[in-house]
Homo-oligomer: A and B are copies of this chain.
Amino acid sequence: MMFETATATLDWLGVIVFTVAGALVASRKEMDFVGFAVLGTVTGVGGGTLRDLLLGLPVFWTQRPAYLLACLVVSLAVFFVAHIPQSRYRYLVRLDALGLALFAVAGAEKALEAGASALVAVVMGVVTATFGGLLRDLLGGDSPKILSREIYASAAGVGAATFVFLTLLEAPRELALGVGFLFALLLRGASLRFEWTLPRYRPRPGVPYN
Contacts and interface: CB of A to CB of B under 8 A. Distances in A.
Interface in A48-77: 49, 53-56, 58-59, 61-62, 65, 68-69
Contact of A210 (B31, B86, B138): B86
Given A33-B198, A154-B34, A143 B146 contact: no
Contact of A87 (B30, B33, B210): B210
Interface in A62-98: 62, 65, 68-69, 79, 82-83, 86-89
Contacts of A193: none
A153 B54 CA distance: 25
A153 B34 contact: yes
Contacts of A69: 119
A198 B32 contact: yes
- Copy tally for this chain in the complex stands at 3
A201 B31 contact: yes
B31 A62 contact: no
Given A68-B120, A120-B62, A201 B55 contact: no
Interface stretch (A35-43, A100-108, A169-177): A35-43
A56 B204 CA distance: 45
Nearest to A153: B34
Nearest to A82: B201
A150 to B, nearest CB: 9
Contacts of A34: 152-154, 157, 198
Nearest to A41: B123
A138 B138 CA distance: 9
A204 B82 CA distance: 9
B201 A32 contact: yes
Contacts of A54: 49, 53, 59, 62
